[in-house]
Amino acid sequence: MRFSAKHTFTYLSAQPLAATAFSWSRRLLLLTGMATAFAAARPHHTSAQALYKTNGDAVASTTCTGGFTLTPELGNKSGSVWRLQQITLAKSFVFNFSVYLGTRDGNGGDGMVFGLQRSNVGTNALGGGGQNMGMAAISPSVIVEFDTYDNGTGINDIAADHIGLVKNGDFGNPLTFTNSAATAVRATPAAVDAGGTALNIENGTYYPVRVAWNVKTKTLQVYFNNVLRATYSEDFVATIFGNNPSVYWGFTASTGGALNKMEACSLAFDYDQDTDGLTDRQDADDDNDGIADTAEANNVDATADADSDGVLNYQDADFGALNARGVVSTLDADGDGIINQFDLDADADGIPDVVEGTDGRMSSGFRALYSAADAQYTQAVDAVGRPQNTASYTTLPDTDGDGKPDYLDTNTDNDAVPDWMEAFDDNNSGYSSDDLVVRAAAFVTAGGNSTYYPATDANANGTRDWLDDTNANGIPNFLDITSPFYRDTDGDGLVDLLDASNLGKGYADVTSYPDRNSNSVPDYRDAALVTPLPVELVSFTARAAGAQAQLVWATASEVNNAYFVVEISTDGQTFAALAEVAGKGTTTQRHEYRYTDVNLARYAVAVVYYRLRQVDTNGAVQFSAVQTLVVSNRRSTMVALPTPFTTELTLQLPQTVAGTATLEVLDATGRPQLVQAVMLQAGTTTLVVPQAATWAAGLYFVRIIQGQQQYSVKAVRQ
């Protein structure tokens, strides 16, 4: 074969079939009221060659910038080069590079491959030579081969220099893909002339190649010399990589009896966070939320590499202090490890940024609308990835004027209630907790995992565990990245419960945006309207007063509160109603309630448990936390020594009867810490409590039960 046309390497943009010459010029764009510098087609900075691992005959190239020579122009050579840092197939990406396949045609080498792999030898991977192109049996892997030697039909080779796709290093069984003519093939010429005749690519030319992965459609596309040559769809993460999306990328090549110098050069890898066809380095709005990346990144270029160390700025400790999730903390408002410009919900209040960055509603005036079908904001973007805003939404709203834009403000209207409590009042009942429970049921009905948002209530406070705020940081568990109830399957920053792409119901997907007073202002932005939980219980205590128990509780506010039921339990598990105390209906004033439980001795136990069942006028119920009260029903007293203790805890019991008994230790919440059989002596018994040195500091209730006889005492560990 012969090829005489002259080729000049150009850097590919992410737009299909488009090529843009290297240009370092910048242009200013006005987006959401902020001027942002943006390079129209700036190439990713090529990292130092030290960030790659070479194997076999591969060496750093001396003839192309930032590239590698995989094989010299000698026979029976093979080499590989792998990037040390893994990438993820959980995001769309575009990888631009150039290939040099030598100058020998008829007696040229076998060719080279671009590969994604996670073999057990990692970046040391190098397969067999010859027709295996240095990648044979490397598994698990996905391979794009640039084959320049016809090894016969036995391995589905064709005479032309061609492109093929291979899994797990099995070159004898290439994949069937779609070529540029929409035909199903197992090999296709790498380049053809205007008449469709295959061209020689072993002609001393550096050819541009683009490999693009679309995570939404699970599709891999290969462009050679600016022309789409191969399209193949498969969920590689599930079928090849064992549901682990992290892989190494790199190149291998080999020669046999025939030989060629082969190189991979101008390596430029970029993610495409929103899968809009523009890489993150080209895209002015990486997550298509209508808010400029520079605005979300505090006017810095988060996806650049300022110190050229191969680590992007937002992941580089040299650029800024990293948070617990490994990204620069100032670029990640909610600390979920997804920087603001990639995060669909940057403040983790459940309301998408595309809503909070505009008028707070699902407005038809904003054309890059949130799509309930796929939870992406890709309906209308311009050439640099900006959603098509109308003039009405060119500034970022700051409803309460606190200097923090709404999309970063978890209490947009600066009232007494956070946004998440107000934004999901789908039934206009005055609070959101019941609506979120309904959404959780719908999530399971739609096929969602039933363990994500269960009906469990471990602390028996009447609120489901995932709606609690276990660490008291003001964020409910299901929105708190530190909680096991936080679920964001697709890693877009929007939790599954409120993400339509993960079987949830997004903001305003159930009804229109909540507006309980019909003033055209969304409730979460309306300071005149508060949507709290039905009753805000600020305290509840149970104290012994002689033979009685005095219960006192207080509320900060109440909505439709009909009454409280005081409940008692002797085992901490089964509760029975003691009395009913009328509530105050709806009020924003603090109110205190009292109830006295007389004659504690009638329970004949050492410890009793109290809780409140609060009932709304519509029958809705929530429970308080459980309060524990120690009851002594024997004149004989057990003594705990020392008080407090640090390592060893000793018990002294007077007037004991010889025989077996049960030792029980409960923590301050009434949960068993130790249950063990012990032997009592006649007269006075002294016991050392096992494991006491391992307990956490705090208050403990100790009791010994022998038939109908019980001894009890409190103990404190420092």
What does the CA dihedral 281, 282, 286, 288 come to, rounded to 10 degrees?
Answer: 180
Closest CA to 310 of 47, 45, 96, 81: 47
Check residue 209 and give its pLDDT: 97
Q: How far is CA 308 from CA 47, 230, 241, 316, 319, in A?
A: 6, 33, 30, 11, 11
pLDDT tens digit string along 646-688? 889 999 987 677 889 899 998 877 788 899 999 988 878 999 9
Confidence of residue 203 (pLDDT cuts 50, 70, 90): very high
Confidence of residue 355 (pLDDT cuts 50, 70, 90): confident
Give the separation between CA 488 and CA 350, rounded to whole angstroms.
12
- Claim: this prediction has a pTM higher than 0.85: no
Looking at residue 418, what DSSP letter applies?
-
What average pLDDT does the segment 251-275 reach?
Answer: 89
Q: How far is CA 234 from CA 216, 279, 502, in A?
A: 11, 22, 20
Amino acid at 286: D
pLDDT tens digit string along 295-337? 899 899 998 888 877 788 998 999 999 999 899 999 999 999 9
What does the CA dihedral 484, 487, 492, 498 come to, rounded to 10 degrees?
Answer: -130
Q: Which domains does the chain have, with CATH numbers?
A: 45-272 (2.60.120.200), 283-527 (no CATH), 535-630 (2.60.40.10), 639-717 (2.60.40.10)
Closest CA to 402 of 527, 507, 523, 513: 527
Give the separation between CA 641 and CA 633, rounded to whole angstroms.
21
pLDDT tens digit string along 124-151? 999 876 667 889 889 999 999 999 887 7
Q: How far is CA 315 from CA 43, 51, 309, 312, 344, in A?
A: 19, 16, 11, 6, 19
Give the separation between CA 486 and CA 464, rounded to whole angstroms.
14
> What is the overall mean pLDDT for the chain?
81
| Range with the poorest average pLDDT among 9-18, 234-243, 254-263 | 9-18
Confidence of residue 5 (pLDDT cuts 50, 70, 90): very low
Confidence of residue 246 (pLDDT cuts 50, 70, 90): very high
| Range with the poorest average pLDDT among 13-27, 169-183, 480-494, 605-619 | 13-27
